[in-house]
Amino acid sequence: MSSSEISNVPFVPETAFGIWFLRTHTWEHHVLRVAIDDLARLIDTPLPAAPVIVDAGCGQGVSFRLLANAFKPRRIVGVDYHAPSLMLAEQAAQACRETVADIELLHGDCAQLPLPDASADLVFCHQTFHHLVEQDRALAEFRRVLKPDGVLLFAESTDAYIKSWVIRLLFRHPMQVQKSADGYLDMIREAGFRFGPRNVSLPYLWWSRAKDFGLLERLGLYRPQPGKRRETLVNVAAVKTASDTD
């Protein structure tokens, strides 16, 4: 997809802090690694021995090595709209090519993926969806590029976290599209994916609690209970359902 073809993509530019943060050890170790480990645990459908993975919103490519270790793919396709991040992703891809020889990077929009139908076994969308303005179109694209029974690995922060004061201060997001955990799960289901309770995780990690970053819990002064708290994260491994047009 050429630059001219995606020049009108609705886009909220990230802050300089946000771009820097996405290449830190904290991001890789405490956010990305934890999410990939959790998503792999949620999959209960057979996967190919060497899957093709689309990393939707790959950013600077920090995920490539972690995806390679977790799923042993034969191919990874990284797609991102932010061209400077893709330049750094190329360096990450080069560092991974002894493990995954075929890593392709594409400049594109998640709501119009530059990929053919049924070309992926897994679509990995980690902390990307809350940046997207055209969320319904992006989900339709994820479903389109997945093979029959392909899996969407979706990990996202909810509105409770994105709308917190510290995130508003340090990052930039389209606030009008932010959703709760239930809101994202409903949207994924309505887009043509199936999943059950065992395919869903609601982590309540320290970094996602912008009010106190989990300090009160570590001090033994607070014990958060599922169902009695505002969920800050949602992870789901959802399978593409069949339709008359597939």
Per-residue model confidence as pLDDT tens digits over 38-94: 999 999 999 999 999 999 999 999 999 999 999 999 999 999 999 999 999 999 999
Domain harbouring 55, CATH code: 3.40.50.150
Give how many domains the chain has, as a whole number: 1
What local confidence, expressed as pLDDT, does residue 38 receive? 97
Is 5 part of a structural domain of the chain? Answer: no
Is 100 part of a structural domain of the chain? Answer: yes
Interhelix angle for 83-96 vs 63-71, to 10°? 40
What local confidence, expressed as pLDDT, does residue 3 receive? 39
Half-sphere exposure of 124 (CA within 13 A, CB side): 32
195 three-class SS: coil
Q: Which domain holds residue 174?
A: 10-43+50-240
Dihedral angle sign, alpha carbons of residues 22, 176, 8, 103: positive
What local confidence, expressed as pLDDT, does residue 168 receive? 86
Helix (H) or strand (E) holding 201: strand 200-201
pTM for this prediction: 0.89
Is 245 part of a structural domain of the chain? Answer: no
Over residues 15-41, mean pLDDT:
93
Q: Which one-letter DSSP state was computed for residue 230?
A: -
